[in-house]
Amino acid sequence: MSLSTPAVTIGLPVYNGEQFLADALSSILGQTFENFVLVVSDNASTDATVDIVEEHAARDERIVLLRNDVNRGAAWNYNRVFAECRTPYFKWAAADDVLAPTYLERLLATLDSSPANVVLVYPHTELIDENGAVMDEFVDELAARPGAPPYVRVHRVVSKIALGNVIFSLMRTDALARTRLHGNYPAADYVLLAEIALMGEFRVVPEALF
């Protein structure tokens, strides 16, 4: 597949993720919206992570593999994949999460039809076990009412955040670039979500797509 101008960058930072990585990659590459690039940054894994990525990359040219000779930490690796983003939309991915086939299609349609001050769109989440069986559905409540001022949006995030799922949402690249990105401290993803809420509004797609 040849894609000259991708619309979305998906950044997947990984370290020793072999257990679920193949499923995660397959769910990304199987999206109904195909116009994206997948940047995988391996943080000096000692398992079969690189082999799994290279096997998928041999079949799909949308994958870009970056390899670190030493483990530089999770925050550095999350920020590194974003540094490679040259598209208007960005999404982080994890090596142990899977996406519904219409994830990108549905979230991108919402972003494209929303005002520019809507900077992040997320879906409902299904919690699964190690075999992929659904255990429960989780509904994040981080989206404030449309038109809410920044302090209301931030209060909504810090008062309602529970699992941090929303950090793996689809975002506008220009908004995310105005943040400090991931810090090297616990709960940095929560802090980053609060900072993104200062940049603009969140929207939710009420479907279990993550």
Percentage with pLDDT > 70 across the chain: 98
Residue 193 corresponds to which tokens in the numbers above? 């979500």
Average pLDDT over residues 156-167: 96
Question: Torsion-angle region of residue 92: left (phi > 0), alpha (psi -120 to 50) or beta?
Answer: beta
On average, the pLDDT of the chain sits at 96
Q: Tell me the pLDDT tens digit for each residue of 87-104.
A: 999 999 999 999 999 999
Nearest to 48 by CA among 85, 25, 16: 16
Alpha-carbon distance of 43 to 46, in angstroms, equals: 9
Assessment of whether the complete model's pTM goes beyond 0.75: yes
Any idea what DSSP says for residue 118? E
**Total Cβ atoms within 10 A of residue 20:** 16
**What are the pLDDT digits (tens) for 20-53?**
999 999 999 999 999 999 999 999 999 999 999 9
Q: Output the pLDDT for position 2.
A: 44
Per-residue tokens: 206: 């009420």
Q: What digits encode the pLDDT tens for the residues 178-195?
A: 999 999 999 999 999 999
Burial 174-198 (b: 16+ CB within 10 A, else e): ebbeebebbeeeeebbbbbbbbbbe
In a 3-state reduction of DSSP, which class is residue 114?
coil
Q: Which amino acid is at 38?
A: L
The closest of 10, 2, 200 to 117, measured between CA atoms, is: 200
Instruction: Report pLDDT for 3.
Output: 52
More confident residue, 86 or 1: 86
Encode 33-68: b = buried (16+ Cβ within 10 Å), e = exposed: bbbbbbbbbbbebeeebbebbeebbeeeebbbebeb
- Spell out a b/e string for 74-107, using b for 16 or more CB atoms within 10 Å of the CB, else e: bbbbbbbbbeebebebbbbbbbebbbbebbbebb
Quick one: which of 20, 192, 191 has its CA closest to 90?
Answer: 192
Task: Tell me the β-bridge partners of 91.
Answer: 10, 170
